Chain A
């Protein structure tokens, strides 16, 4: 992002020094979060969306973007345990929060989270693009409800679009994960 503009003469000026302009909010912000269990601080342009922060500053490209209008859910991450569409939340808004992305679900030894395991085993995925968002939304649901009904799952996941699976195996994956978590 640029932080300078050109005036009529073509010279580059720093607008913040122009006394005739109204005061402007600062152009960068410092963001401190717990990200997948790790304390992280970064300085970003104030307009940086959370999805961009994760993808570009933290190289966590498992957070996908497909509509950038909070419709498809591919960018879903957990903010303090709640599923949030990171394409339309500013990084600045989650300062102080505990964030979980898809990369943070598996154990350090590489063993999969039960929801990840269930999605893979049940084939609740095809092209994989919606998968991180679906998995995280499902993790959030199972945090709230041990044994969700099919209709609860359908409703809960209705903010996550999948173009490949037709949803049946996704719903079965969540059921299976619920059973696995139960044990």
Chain B
């Protein structure tokens, strides 16, 4: 961040909003003047002032006079052998620097590569495996010229039959998406199955043996994109003098990106790659993978010794930006006559598209967490991840849980109906009790401290469940119903290479201003705001005096990035520890200056003061100045100082948070504690189904989650509301539509319906419990991904309540709903 971009601290416009300015509701802050803790306050977003004034700096805003622009020629067919690529027209286009195909990069990269399975190439070699795959890259002086030239790349294809469905991929004579991987005995790939695994607990060979009632169904979820408004993009700048590559990329994981790029690019080690963050306009999971465009931009900058930028346009984003995997789930749930869930038996097939990316982790995580917030002793999950000739899928908010939950929560409501039992009562009966925690779930999770029972009860109340349940008619003649979904979402987990940790540094200048260096990335989720609050609170300074440097491999210590709701849990705890380390120094100096036992010194309200005599204090700026300058006139002669204050007093604190809780899942049983902590909750929706049009209108949403201590309730609400609406979009509107050749039919914002303000209700019926996680610095748990998880399940359950029709696939858009209404005789004209 340059000086000119820093938020100006105009009087009366601090982040903590001055009262008296229509603060309204509970936005009135304590303005840092009281002695209240900053943790739990509704502090304004750290970046908000830059964003409302248009002074964010996203990747496409970076422009230098010597910059070159890369553009890809992408495959317009889904599956083909490449017969010939003619780049002469593109190369001859005025303004073009160079045009590369696979042959030009092959020696510079270690291919195939991939996050968990090595199945990707940077540019298509002899075949293409999905529409939108990069075939050639053009470099030019402007984005427009690069685009024009990319369109002049002529590719001759020998089209092969495309595999575009799970049935097609699993058919006996199916064409193979990756025949070379199938033939390679070193890989797990078998036919089009990239990976398979299982989760087994209890009597897994006959998990329904004890059931009096078994309900079953085959469910299919939709392929979607989270569509961050800010598309993927990067600027690569290689310095031939130092041999270092600087990559400013719109990513969620700068440190891991440097590790992964070093593994792909020959001749560059992790130390040679500096990854930095621009402002990142949304991520939602799909900015985790190392992408071909990042590798190409790096190689092109190394070749030309000039900065190279590539930012995907929206069409490329739809074709190659990756998204959520569609999953087919054949599931059976067994209950006793009393309503005890005794077993679940599921076969899960995940369509990962042309590459696995994070798909394997999504698959095993979804099965491992599939039991949800229930005690289910006997479980059998078979999972496979299958290649098809369509856009690769990867991590997306919820990480497989939304898909599994769509099945499980419908089976739960189907079972309740079979038993003649209320669906919330059935859930309550099977929910774990807070009194029994800490406990291990059947699948191996360590559930430490959560009250899902209260979440269920409150949600029932908030949505007026008992009034709506059973279905009814609105005055407009719409069919109204209510349905529920539940949350048991993991927060934090080991990366594929192991470990779940973040480091942080907190430093103070001589004026008492604080900077926290964190590996955490900001993608809009607000972790940096929470971190500045935790740090300010620990050091007793106003939050306006804490700045955050984020995700810069040169400047910040290591960390794993933002995914799995780990930012505030892991990165926040690390920053809090670093602040505590610095606080120890400050209290030592203050104790020495004030002649007070350092143990009695507290840092509050911009002062270090004697807790037993608050009038004895030193202001933190003065304290910082004295400590930084270290003169004997103020600190006394060195040999008369406490040990800690000799040889220079460092105003740098450091901290690391390393979860000791997370386990790799056992490869044989699929069991294990995959997360640091778990967030439980319940969500219910009321829907109106229009019997004339098939429109499903969500008219009310209620949610109660146990999120641990909320560091910033305002930002928490924003995450909850945003996740729910993202889920509503996927439940009601969104789906990738392909033709039988694997051509995307709706790859634009016009044809792919993202929810707008006119499509969704206000979401204000939100509640939270704050049972703290005992292991994190301030009792925080994961928040941001969780509320999306139950949305599609709750909508489907509500539609079933309204119509008595059980919908097994997504989305519940009119073209899918109306025919079912017709079949059921519910259509009205």
* Closest beta carbon of chain A to B710's beta carbon, Å: 13
In the bound complex, do residue A128 and residue B524 qualify as a contact, i.e. CB atoms below 8 Å apart?
yes
- Give the one of A2, A111, A121 with max B CB within 10 A: A121
Q: Which residues of A contact B24 (CB under 8 A)?
A: 176, 179
Q: Which residues of A contact B724 (CB under 8 A)?
A: 166
Task: Select one of B45, B144, B226, B229 contacting A66, CB under 8 A.
Answer: B229
0/1 interface trace, chain B 583-625, chain A, CB 8 Å (1 if under): 0000000000000000000000000000000000000000000
In the bound assembly, the distance between CA atoms of A157 and B756 in angstroms comes to 8
Provided the pairs A150-B762, A158-B756 are in contact, do residues A165 and B53 lie with their beta carbons within 8 angstroms?
Answer: no
Interface residue ranges of A141-168 to B (CB < 8 Å): 150, 153-155, 157-168
Provided the pairs A154-B757, A155-B758 are in contact, do residues A103 and B53 lie with their beta carbons within 8 angstroms?
Answer: yes
Q: Taking the complex as formed, is B635 at the interface, i.e. its CB lies under 8 A from any CB of chain A?
A: no
Provided the pairs A6-B94, A110-B10 are in contact, do residues A127 and B230 lie with their beta carbons within 8 angstroms?
Answer: yes
Q: Which residue of B lies closest to A65 (CB)?
A: B60
- Give the one of B51, B56, B750 with max A CB within 10 A: B51
Q: Taking the complex as formed, is B632 at the interface, i.e. its CB lies under 8 A from any CB of chain A?
A: no
In the bound complex, do residue B314 and residue A161 qualify as a contact, i.e. CB atoms below 8 Å apart?
no
Interface-lining segment among A22-30, A68-76, A89-97: A68-76
In the bound complex, do residue B715 and residue A129 qualify as a contact, i.e. CB atoms below 8 Å apart?
no
Interface residue ranges of A9-48 to B (CB < 8 Å): 12
Provided the pairs A127-B282, A167-B725, A171-B757 are in contact, do residues A103 and B54 lie with their beta carbons within 8 angstroms?
Answer: yes
In the bound assembly, the distance between CA atoms of A103 and B717 in angstroms comes to 28
In the bound assembly, the distance between CA atoms of A30 and B760 in angstroms comes to 44
Interface-lining segment among B15-23, B337-345, B473-481, B672-680: B15-23
Q: Taking the complex as formed, is A83 at the interface, i.e. its CB lies under 8 A from any CB of chain B?
A: no
Q: Taking the complex as formed, is B667 at the interface, i.e. its CB lies under 8 A from any CB of chain A?
A: no
* Closest beta carbon of chain B to A133's beta carbon, Å: 9
Task: Select one of A74, A110, A126, A165 contacting B8, CB under 8 A.
Answer: A110
Place the interface of chain A in its size category.
Answer: 35 or more
* Closest beta carbon of chain A to B277's beta carbon, Å: 12
Q: Which residue of B lies closest to A48 (CB)?
A: B144
In the bound complex, do residue B524 and residue A127 qualify as a contact, i.e. CB atoms below 8 Å apart?
yes
Interface residue ranges of B197-243 to A (CB < 8 Å): 226-231
Q: Which residue of A lies closest to B12 (CB)?
A: A111
In the bound complex, do residue B44 and residue A74 qualify as a contact, i.e. CB atoms below 8 Å apart?
no
In the bound assembly, the distance between CA atoms of A154 and B791 in angstroms comes to 22
In the bound complex, do residue A66 and residue B314 qualify as a contact, i.e. CB atoms below 8 Å apart?
yes
In the bound complex, do residue A102 and residue B142 qualify as a contact, i.e. CB atoms below 8 Å apart?
no
Q: Taking the complex as formed, is B183 at the interface, i.e. its CB lies under 8 A from any CB of chain A?
A: no
* Closest beta carbon of chain B to A157's beta carbon, Å: 4
Q: Which residues of B contact A62 (CB under 8 A)?
A: 53-56
In the bound complex, do residue B314 and residue A131 qualify as a contact, i.e. CB atoms below 8 Å apart?
no
In the bound complex, do residue A61 and residue B61 qualify as a contact, i.e. CB atoms below 8 Å apart?
yes
Q: Taking the complex as formed, is B269 at the interface, i.e. its CB lies under 8 A from any CB of chain A?
A: no
Provided the pairs A109-B10, A125-B45, A164-B524 are in contact, do residues A169 and B721 lie with their beta carbons within 8 angstroms?
Answer: yes
In the bound complex, do residue A60 and residue B54 qualify as a contact, i.e. CB atoms below 8 Å apart?
yes
Q: Taking the complex as formed, is B63 at the interface, i.e. its CB lies under 8 A from any CB of chain A?
A: yes
Q: Which residues of B contact A116 (CB under 8 A)?
A: 52-53
Task: Select one of A63, A125, A158 contacting B52, CB under 8 A.
Answer: A125
In the bound assembly, the distance between CA atoms of A2 and B722 in angstroms comes to 44
Q: Which residue of B lies closest to A118 (CB)?
A: B22
Q: Taking the complex as formed, is B544 at the interface, i.e. its CB lies under 8 A from any CB of chain A?
A: no
Q: Which residues of B contact A53 (CB under 8 A)?
A: none
In the bound assembly, the distance between CA atoms of A70 and B731 in angstroms comes to 25
Q: Taking the complex as formed, is A84 at the interface, i.e. its CB lies under 8 A from any CB of chain B?
A: no
In the bound complex, do residue B53 and residue A74 qualify as a contact, i.e. CB atoms below 8 Å apart?
no
In the bound assembly, the distance between CA atoms of A148 and B453 in angstroms comes to 40
Q: Taking the complex as formed, is B763 at the interface, i.e. its CB lies under 8 A from any CB of chain A?
A: yes
Q: Taking the complex as formed, is B463 at the interface, i.e. its CB lies under 8 A from any CB of chain A?
A: no
Q: Which residues of A contact B228 (CB under 8 A)?
A: 127, 129, 163
In the bound complex, do residue B53 and residue A106 qualify as a contact, i.e. CB atoms below 8 Å apart?
yes
In the bound complex, do residue A166 and residue B282 qualify as a contact, i.e. CB atoms below 8 Å apart?
no
Provided the pairs A101-B54, A126-B524, A132-B54 are in contact, do residues A120 and B45 lie with their beta carbons within 8 angstroms?
Answer: yes
In the bound assembly, the distance between CA atoms of A117 and B282 in angstroms comes to 22
* Closest beta carbon of chain B to A166's beta carbon, Å: 3
In the bound complex, do residue A166 and residue B725 qualify as a contact, i.e. CB atoms below 8 Å apart?
yes
Q: Taking the complex as formed, is B253 at the interface, i.e. its CB lies under 8 A from any CB of chain A?
A: no
In the bound complex, do residue A158 and residue B758 qualify as a contact, i.e. CB atoms below 8 Å apart?
yes
* Closest beta carbon of chain B to A143's beta carbon, Å: 18
- Give the one of B22, B50, B55, B95 with max A CB within 10 A: B22
In the bound assembly, the distance between CA atoms of A170 and B525 in angstroms comes to 16
Provided the pairs A165-B722, A169-B717 are in contact, do residues A122 and B52 lie with their beta carbons within 8 angstroms?
Answer: no
Q: Which residues of A contact B92 (CB under 8 A)?
A: 6
Q: Taking the complex as formed, is A1 at the interface, i.e. its CB lies under 8 A from any CB of chain B?
A: yes
In the bound complex, do residue B749 and residue A72 qualify as a contact, i.e. CB atoms below 8 Å apart?
yes
* Closest beta carbon of chain A to B3's beta carbon, Å: 15
In the bound complex, do residue B13 and residue A112 qualify as a contact, i.e. CB atoms below 8 Å apart?
yes
In the bound complex, do residue A157 and residue B757 qualify as a contact, i.e. CB atoms below 8 Å apart?
yes
Q: Taking the complex as formed, is A8 at the interface, i.e. its CB lies under 8 A from any CB of chain B?
A: no
Q: A120-B44, A120-B48, A123-B45 are in contact. List 20 more A-B contacts (CB 8 A).
A: A12-B94, A60-B54, A63-B54, A66-B229, A67-B748, A69-B750, A102-B52, A110-B8, A120-B52, A127-B51, A128-B56, A131-B54, A135-B52, A162-B229, A163-B226, A165-B718, A165-B725, A166-B724, A167-B725, A179-B24
Binding site for A on B (CB under 8 A): 8, 10, 13, 17, 21-24, 27, 44-45, 47-58, 60-61, 63, 92, 94-95, 142, 144-145, 226-231, 279-282, 284, 313-314, 523-526, 714-715, 717-719, 721-726, 748-750, 754, 756-760, 762-764
Please, could you name 29 A-B residue pairs with CB atoms under 8 Å apart, sorted by A? Answer: A5-B94, A62-B54, A62-B55, A64-B281, A69-B748, A74-B229, A110-B8, A116-B52, A116-B53, A117-B21, A118-B22, A120-B52, A121-B23, A123-B718, A126-B45, A128-B51, A128-B279, A129-B58, A129-B282, A131-B54, A135-B52, A150-B762, A161-B754, A163-B726, A163-B754, A164-B718, A168-B721, A171-B762, A176-B24
Binding site for B on A (CB under 8 A): 1-2, 4-6, 12, 55-56, 60-69, 71-72, 74, 101-103, 105-106, 109-112, 116-123, 125-132, 135, 150, 153-155, 157-171, 176, 179-180, 183
Nearest 9 Cβ contacts at the A-B interface: A62-B54, A127-B524, A128-B51, A129-B281, A166-B725, A102-B54, A126-B524, A158-B758, A166-B721
